[in-house]
Amino acid sequence: MKYWIVAICMLTISLSGLTQSFDLLDRQDAIQADIGETLRIPLKIRNNSEKAQFYIIRKLPSDLPTSPKGYFCFDNKCLESGISEFSKRVEPGETLQKLVYVVEGSLLTSQSAVRFQVFPRLNPQDIQDYSVAITVNEKLGNQCYFNQKTLRFMMFTPILFRITPLLIISFIMKT
């Protein structure tokens, strides 16, 4: 009987060490966008531990096309696109909610993925990988990419031929 109690206690202690100290909430495995649309990937982290922790969010090398830039934004303050790590202190039971990774709109149709690793600074073994598949679709018909009072850039794809889109630059004349 003693051995069973000791075995159950040891099992409980060992399993409690396997639980993660944080959760990634509202994960999106795939995002679809149209050409030119800016994407915002939310990164929500809940601290399940009993003490405050610094969490590191690392963007891993991905297969994004070179044209769209990607960068971290926290509370509408954005970092430069070359920064691939973000760190933030999260109190026990608190959820980090205002962090997003922004991918600027692409002018080409594509399929790619953005990958992240999230882990506590003092416990890098407690790591979670997070990958988001991004599909950029082509809009049919006229697409306006730039529009000001005197100049407009539009892309036009003839529906009958489905050939390479034509760039139309129109000058708006005031009369």
Q: Domain of 153?
A: 139-175
Each residue's pLDDT tens digit, 107-122: 677 888 899 999 999 9
Chain Cα centroid distance, residue 174: 43
> 78: closest CA among 90, 91, 65, 69?
69
User: Phi then psi for 171, rounded to 5 degrees?
Assistant: -100, 130
Instruction: Please determine, for residue 163, whether its predicted confidence score (pLDDT) is greater than 50.
Output: no
Note whether 89 and 160 are same-domain residues: no
Note whether 28 and 54 are same-domain residues: yes
Note whether 153 and 132 are same-domain residues: no
3-state secondary structure at position 8: helix
Sign of the alpha-carbon dihedral angle for 29, 100, 39, 60: negative
Average pLDDT over residues 69-82: 92
Predicted local confidence at residue 150, as pLDDT: 60
Q: Considering the domain boundaries, does residue 8 fall inside one? A: no
Each residue's pLDDT tens digit, 26-51: 888 999 888 778 899 999 999 999 99
Tally the domains of the chain. 2
Note whether 89 and 165 are same-domain residues: no
Task: Say which CATH number the domain at 64 has.
Answer: 2.60.40.10
pTM of the predicted protein model: 0.69
> What is the percentage of the chain residues whose pLDDT exceeds 90?
43
Note whether 79 and 151 are same-domain residues: no
* Interatomic CA distance for residues 11 and 5, integer angstroms: 10
Question: 96 Cβ partners below 8 Å, 6+ apart?
Answer: 43, 44, 45, 46, 47, 55, 88, 90
The DSSP letter of residue 43 is: -
Note whether 133 and 144 are same-domain residues: no
